[in-house]
Amino acid sequence: MAARHTQVLSISHCGMAGGPSIKSMSIIQCLRHIIEREGPRALFKGLGPNLVGVAPSRAIYFCAYSQSKEFLNTTALLPPNSAAVHVCSASCAGFVACSATNPIWFVKTRLQLDYNADGRPMTAMQVVRRVYRKMGIRGFYKGITASYFGISETVIHFVIYEAIKAKLSSVRAPSPNDSKTSRDFLEFMLAGAVSKTVASCIAYPHEVARTRLREEGTKYRSFFQTLSTVMAEDGYRGLYRGLWTQLVRQIPNTAIMMSTYEAVVYVLTRHFGQPEETQFYDNDEEIEDDDLRHKL
């Protein structure tokens, strides 16, 4: 019963366990399939850990990014506000955020996959106890290697974001007192959306590998072994299964997140008068979650 329900829930099994009609399942078909089998509530499985994880993940990420960028800009190790600074800052931030929050995203993914022996969905605490009993603390970091490879997506995203933002800022005259208007924040949204789209398209395979590695009792053992298995079974297209779902979720999410972040930094900077040389915001100028049902 548990195995059957797991197959119903996970798009990995929706995409591989059936015949041709299931193998070609679209986003809409997948949504309909889940609702018919398990009801609308199944679409929100794992929402609790996701909500719990978003705030600390974003806070840790942006704090690490700003501190790394400030350090590199003020120590003359690299040209200030250069692409190299953005690459190093984003890499540091991604590493810290992944290491700190991987257990949260792991539990979230397992909530979307696992069932009790009687077929009932598991709670977050049941997942935690089950994982700890079987694998110990290390179990909560399963798939973290794929997350570390996913830092490349963060790096690409921020390098492109900073470049687009600087370009948009340079094509028009600066506003008085460096004040910001709605146009500035629309530009931040545009920069965030474009940069995330490019980054996701390039680095998406790590999402597929990470999700499969987090499944219980599967044939996937390591990052590269998972990629090889996916390619052997599904070809290169298998590495990008669920990309459209990811883009539909991530593009508006990132656009809003980046413009909100810039707005918060701008307001705090204006009110607290941070010195210009250490200010994070300047005119020269990321988390689980997996869209599980279409990644495999």
Q: What is the pLDDT of residues 20-38, one digit of tens each?
A: 344 556 778 888 888 888 7
> What does 130-187 look like in DSSP terms, one character per residue?
HHHHHH-GGGGGTTHHHHHHTHHHHHHHHHHHHHHHHHHHHTSPPPGGG---HHHHHH
> What pLDDT sits at residue 162?
87
Contacts of 98 (CB under 8 A, 6+ apart): 144, 147, 148, 150, 151
115 exposed, middle or buried (CB, 10 Å; 0-12, 13-18, 19+)?
A: middle
Cα separation values, 236 from 10, 38, 239, Å: 20, 31, 5
The larger pLDDT score, comparing residue 168 to residue 288, is at: 168
- pLDDT tens by residue, 254-279: 999 889 888 888 888 887 765 443 33
Fold of 2-294: Mitochondrial carrier fold (1.50.40)
**Bridge-partner residues for 115, per DSSP?**
121
> What pLDDT sits at residue 251?
92
At residue 211 the predicted structure's pLDDT band, cuts being 50, 70 and 90, is: confident
Tell me the domain boundaries of the chain.
2-294
CA distance 139 to 245: 27
Q: How distant is the alpha carbon of residue 213 from its chain centre?
A: 16
Taking the model in full, what pTM does it have? 0.67
- pLDDT tens by residue, 166-192: 888 888 766 666 677 788 888 999 999
Consecutive H or E run containing 223: helix 223-234
Query: What number of CA atoms fall less than 13 Å from residue 29's CA on the CB side?
Result: 11
CB atoms near residue 276 (< 10 Å): 9
Can you tell me the mean pLDDT for 218-237?
88
Can you tell me the mean pLDDT for 53-58?
81
Q: Which of 91, 88, 90 is nearest to 72 (CA)?
A: 88
